[in-house]
Structure 1
Amino acid sequence: MHSRTGLHVRTFIPGEDAELPAVLLVHGFGSDGRRDWVDTGIAEALAGTGRVVLVPDLPGHGESPAPSTPGEAGAPTLAAALATVVDEAGAKGFDAVGYSLGARLVWALPEAAPGRVGRTVLGGLSPAEPFEAVDVPALHRAVTEGAEPADPFTAAIAGMVRAHGDRAAGLARCVEGLRATPFAPRSWTGATPPVLVVGEDDVMTRGIERVAGLVDGAELRTVPGDHHGALTGAAFRRTVLDVLAG
Structure 2
Amino acid sequence: MHKFNSGGVEIAYQMAGEGPPILLIHGFASNARVNWWDTSWVRTLTEAGRRVISFDHRGHGASEKLYDSALYPAAEMAEDARRLLDHLGIAQADVMGYSMGARVSAFLAIAHPDRVRRAVFAGLASRMITGVGGAEAIALALEAPSRNDVSDIAAKAFRIFAEQTKSDLKALAACIRSSRERITVAELATIRVPVLVVAGEKDEVAGDVETLVKAIPGARGVTLPNRNHMNAVGDRGYKDAVLAFLG
TM above 0.5, yes or no, is yes
8 Å CA contact 1:83, 1:112 repeated in 2: no
Q: Could you list the runs of 5+ residues in structure 2 that have no partner in the other structure?
A: none
Residue 47 of structure 1 aligns to which amino acid in structure 2? Answer: T
Who is 1:244 aligned against? 246
8 Å CA contact 1:118, 1:191 repeated in 2: no
8 Å CA contact 2:41, 2:234 repeated in 1: no
Deviation at 1:227, TM superposition (A): 1.4
Rate the CA distance shift 1:244–1:133 in 2: closer, same or farther, 3 A.
same
RMSD value, Cα = 2.6
Residue 63 of structure 1 aligns to which amino acid in structure 2? Answer: A
8 Å CA contact 1:161, 1:172 repeated in 2: no
Deviation at 1:142, TM superposition (A): 5.9
Who is 1:115 aligned against? 114
Alpha-carbon distance in structure 2 between the residues aligned to 1:66 and 1:178: 15
Give the match's secondary structure for 2:143.
helix
8 Å CA contact 1:139, 1:155 repeated in 2: no
Alpha-carbon distance in structure 1 between the residues aligned to 2:246 and 2:142: 42
Q: Give the 5 Å matches for 1:159-170.
A: 160-161=161-162, 167-170=168-171
Give the match's secondary structure for 1:2.
strand
Who is 2:194 aligned against? 193
8 Å CA contact 1:193, 1:215 repeated in 2: no
Give the match's secondary structure for 1:178.
coil
Question: Which of 223, 226, 229 does residue 227 from structure 1 map onto?
Answer: 229
Q: Could you list the runs of 5+ residues in structure 1 that have no partner in the other structure?
A: none
Residue 240 of structure 2 aligns to which amino acid in structure 1? Answer: R
Who is 2:213 aligned against? 212
Q: Give the 5 Å matches for 1:87-126.
A: 87-126=86-125
Give the match's secondary structure for 2:24.
strand
Residue 182 of structure 1 aligns to which amino acid in structure 2? Answer: R
Who is 2:4 aligned against? 3
Rate the CA distance shift 1:228–1:139 in 2: closer, same or farther, 3 A.
closer
8 Å CA contact 2:109, 2:193 repeated in 1: no
Deviation at 1:37, TM superposition (A): 1.1
* Structure holding more strand per residue: 2
Rate the CA distance shift 1:67–1:120 in 2: closer, same or farther, 3 A.
same
Give me the TM-score of the superposition, normalised by structure 1: 0.84
Rate the CA distance shift 1:182–1:149 in 2: closer, same or farther, 3 A.
farther
Deviation at 1:51, TM superposition (A): 2.6
Identity of aligned residues (%): 26
Alpha-carbon distance in structure 2 between the residues aligned to 1:108 and 1:223: 24
Alpha-carbon distance in structure 1 between the residues aligned to 2:165 and 2:200: 26
Give me the TM-score of the superposition, normalised by structure 2: 0.84
Who is 1:135 aligned against? 136
Alpha-carbon distance in structure 2 between the residues aligned to 1:116 and 1:168: 32
Farther off after superposition, 154-163 or 55-64: 154-163
